[in-house]
Amino acid sequence: MLDPEASKSALRSLFRRTPAVDLATLRRTLKAENYMGVLRRLTLLGYLPSYTHNGRYYTLREVPQFDEHGLWRFGSIGFYQGGTLKAAARDLVEKSEAGKTQQELQSLLHVRAHNELLEHVCAGRLQRNLLDEKHWLYLSPASGRCAKQWARRLAQKKRAAALPGPLTAAMTVEILVAVLQDSRVLTTPEQVVRRLHHQGADVSLEHVRWVFERYGLGKKGGPDSARALR
């Protein structure tokens, strides 16, 4: 097996070529005989296992450029700055303004986190309320935070029910693209409606306001429209 200094050099060279690699590649690179030897050398530089593919891929902590959710992807391989899928599921629910459904988490993570969410609920690390006949809403375990998340989600649901007709995925994309085009300024819903109407799009102010609320647009410190489109 390569000595510690040679291992550092070999690992940095490897990850410059390929940002995420599997255990077999790491063993060949380090001339390591076993899994624990690989982990000891990775620890010298700091590493993360993938939260996808059952943790089969690895990257150095210095490699990823994480998004606002702490997520980074290399092709189909996903990494979370907090480590595992279980950690990602818990943290994304805890940090969300209105809780998360399993479907919403799957959209962010590109993998199902149903089992991980249930484990957190059973262990008291998350709470959940029935949102409708088919969906559970997962919430912070802290009672005050949980109440705020639940109230915000109910308010969103009420506003969505009052929309003049269904808000389709295509309409949502149109709104987000319009915000992106004005990303250098603090765009308002009214400005977006005027832009879309000028382009011939049939979108109401209520629809636009709901999308702004849903994606945290138009607020300093909120996610920008480019990230919302990803």
Section 72-78 average pLDDT: 95
Q: What is the DSSP string of 91-106?
A: HHHHH-SS-EEHHHHH
Task: pLDDT band for 132, please (50, 70, 90 cuts).
Answer: confident
Residue-wise pLDDT for 159-179, tens only, equals 777 666 666 778 777 787 777
Question: Looking up tokens 């992106």, which residue turns up?
Answer: 180
Higher pLDDT, 118 or 157: 118
Inter-residue contact 226 to 180 (CB < 8 Å): yes
How far apart CA 60 and CA 19 sit, in angstroms, is 8
Q: What is the pTM of this model?
A: 0.71
Which tokens sit at 178? 């319009």
